[in-house]
Structure 1
Amino acid sequence: MSPSIKRRLATLLLLAAALPLSAFADDTLRFGVGLFQPDKEKNDATYRPLAQYLAKQLGRKVELRTVDSWEGLAKSLANGETDIALLGPWGYVLANGNAGAQAVATILYDGKPTYQALIVTRPDSGLNRIEDLKGRSFAFGDKGSTSGYLIPTHQLLKMGIKDPEKFFGKVVYTKHQAIETQVTRGELDAGADYDRNRNAMIEQGLIKAAESKVIWTSAPLPNDAVAVSADLSRDKALVAKLQAALEQAGAALKSDPKLLPAHYTGFVRSDDTLYKSIRDAGLATGKLQPRP
């Protein structure tokens, strides 16, 4: 190697050393969403407009990632595989407790920031209350689900039912749409769901209202959170920009109806305190460990 080339290489190395690490970092923000739709392809199509909107508002590339379980999405936010996530309340609390993820906004559904967990059965099942479910088949959602797992488990515990596996004759864990479908078909006696999903499935003709009966309803629960990873939460300027973009999504929806899924009407700025009731339920059930 000639002396002149060596000098040029040395100069380039010195310049590179002087640059901040951020100059070499990938500028892409990874946006994770749960599997709200029946399949990944439809889910991606549903949430891609929101990812594109955020990319435009933030001036950064936003990569959409569908994660097929709430538990998996919480873990991906906690371990750094996603930077921003739209995830259920319990999933958020898990990600917050395990890795310091921070809620920055809450979805509005028909203008409301809350929803309710349900237990459903068939109208002709002869089941009218939770006590009637002893020895019957029952479906929970995945273990990262608020309405499908945490809140009904908390309710059972409050009733003195400490071991659902022994209380119910058969227990399965599956997705919310599958729970409603299998209950209405009579394949399961009952299952845990939430009002938004049940109403949407009836509206879309996936189940018939006459074939589904609610026998328990929870107190209002905070809607899904938009949360950022612990690392991203330290970038206060970017978080503020993200919150502003989310708050403006409701107005943008008027000119772009496909920006959000049906019934999603925007976002409201929020923080970790909104999810205290979910954290309390996690602690009460032993599914969440107290912070040291």
Structure 2
Amino acid sequence: MNLKNAVPLAILCLGLLFSHAAAAGSLVIGTISDESVKETRIFLPFAEYLAAQLQEEGITAGEVRIARNIAHMAELLSRGEVDVFVDSPLVSLAVRARCGSRLVARRWKKGVAEYRSVVFVRRDSGIQSLEDLKGRVIAFEEAFSSSGYILPRHSIATQGVQLAAMSGPRAERPADATGYVFSGDDENTIEWVLRGLVDAGAMSLRGLKRRAGDDFGSLEVLLETESIPRHVVSVSPGTTAAFSSALQAALVSMDQGNEGRKVLESFERTTKFDAIPDQTLDMLDEFEKPVTALIGGN
């Protein structure tokens, strides 16, 4: 063989080899958390199940990768180190804005397809509108909570209410804005409102009804947000349309067999996955810019 022709041929063969090797390998499922051991234990059976369903796509194993924050997850997706990202829709939108990931399915986490958040006060507080919260304090759960912070804060902002961060519920209250603090937990939020430590709280409507119990009658809802998916599944920006379709088919069919239902149950009592309705996708597209501005790359 002419050596002049052999070199390009060898390069072509190596290129084909590495291309095939890149197509085969692990399916890496990603999420954002500061509890990597706990999250890995939750996500690994799910990743391994999907890997088994995607063998014809060159997948041989399932793995889990935990990101520190939104920016880190966007970086992992961009580099192809994470293939599939599962999280709340608002966090997923912030990640998508940074890396171009694509939403492919809706997760019915704990049997819930969608949820809405509320802002609530004590019924005897005399507060009748969001405007009445000026100079008062509202408690959110934590900065990464979609239902307990991102969604209600976005809805409050659309009503023209100005919010100002406070160091704690007993700190000096802003005169020309509504002060806000983080309670760290939905139960704390309810307790702080009932005790008068803060004037209002925010969380999912379903969570408020469940956690408040007999005290629910003592509370009044000032604002209900729009309904959004409980959780969504995204794929990395480099994912092919064929692989996305195969992944979506594997997800949607999980609840149709015994093994899939067992894995779903272990995956935080997920009921099923389905396609995201077009109307919901349109709404999420509208949310992307303001939500990304709100939570940035944290």
> Does TM, normalized by the shorter one, top 0.5?
yes
Judge conservation of contact 2:44–2:62 (CA < 8 Å) in 1.
no
2:287 maps to 281
Judge conservation of contact 2:30–2:82 (CA < 8 Å) in 1.
yes
1:22 maps to 19
Please say if 1:54 is aligned against 2:50.
yes
1:221 maps to 228
* Per-residue deviation, 1:247: 0.5
* Per-residue deviation, 1:18: 5.0
Superposed CA deviations along residues 26-74 of structure 1, whole A, max 9, x for unmatched, are: 7222211244xx9544333333221121111112222113446567545
Judge conservation of contact 1:110–1:265 (CA < 8 Å) in 2.
yes
| Aligned-partner Cα distance in 2 for 1:281–1:18 | 42
1:6 maps to none
TM-score, normalization by structure 2:
0.70
1:4 maps to none
Decide which moves more: 68-77 or 220-229: 68-77
Superposed CA deviations along residues 211-262 of structure 1, whole A, max 9, x for unmatched, are: 5646232122133210101111xx2222121111100112234455634322
Judge conservation of contact 2:114–2:227 (CA < 8 Å) in 1.
yes
1:32 maps to 30
1:104 maps to 104
Structure 1, gaps ≥5 residues long:
1-9
Please say if 1:193 is aligned against 2:203.
yes
2:169 maps to none
Given residue 209 of structure 1, which amino acid in structure 2 is its aligned partner? Answer: G
2:238 maps to 231
| Aligned-partner Cα distance in 2 for 1:142–1:160 | 22
| Aligned-partner Cα distance in 1 for 2:119–2:152 | 8
* Per-residue deviation, 1:100: 1.6
TM-score, normalization by structure 1:
0.71
1:152 maps to 152
* Per-residue deviation, 1:135: 3.0
Alignment length (residue pairs): 264
31 and 286 in structure 1: CA distance in 2 versus 1, 3 angstrom threshold = closer
Q: 2:185 aligns with which of 176, 179, 185?
A: 179
Superposed CA deviations along residues 259-287 of structure 1, whole A, max 9, x for unmatched, are: 4322x210112388633223323445782
Identical columns (%): 26
3-state SS of 1:182 partner: helix
| Aligned-partner Cα distance in 1 for 2:207–2:52 | 30
| Aligned-partner Cα distance in 2 for 1:149–1:76 | 25
Judge conservation of contact 1:122–1:211 (CA < 8 Å) in 2.
no
| Aligned-partner Cα distance in 1 for 2:79–2:14 | 28
